[in-house]
Amino acid sequence: MMRYAWQVLRLGALATVLAVSAGCAATPEDIDAIRATAEEAKQTAAEAQAAAARAESKADAAERAAADAKGCCRDNSEKIDRMFKKSMYK
């Protein structure tokens, strides 16, 4: 069991060294491409955030409209009930 743990530890250390070496071997063109991709991702995130804000605003407006409609419906139901009760007494 201990031998297996050492093998895993050595492979992990080797993978770390290779990853760091590969990261350091990036050319300026690679760095520019990475930077451009990061800027594109940043722009996409900003657009998504703006779209989410617009959607939230529309959802809030829809919620207010639904609450208004519910209140109107409740008022109409009460009026109908009163009219029905009046007609029953006559």
CA distances to 1, 16, 35 from 12, rounded to whole Å, are 17, 6, 28
Mean pLDDT of 23-31: 71
pTM (two decimals): 0.52
DSSP state string for 21-89: HHHHT--HHHHHHHHHHHHHHHHHHHHHHHHHHHHHHHHHHHHHHHHHHHHHHHHHHHHHHHHHHHHHH
Across the chain, mean pLDDT equals 82
The total domain count for the chain is 1
- The domain of 35 spans 2-89
Mean pLDDT of 7-18: 65
* Model pLDDT, residue 58: 96
Mean pLDDT of 58-85: 93
Task: Kindly compute the dihedral angle of the four CA atoms of residues 71, 76, 82, 85, in this order, to the nearest 10 degrees.
Answer: -120
* Model pLDDT, residue 2: 52
pLDDT digits (tens, 9 = 90+) for 42-63: 989 998 999 999 999 999 999 9
DSSP 8-state code for residue 90: -
Looking at the predicted structure, is the pLDDT value of residue 69 above 90? yes
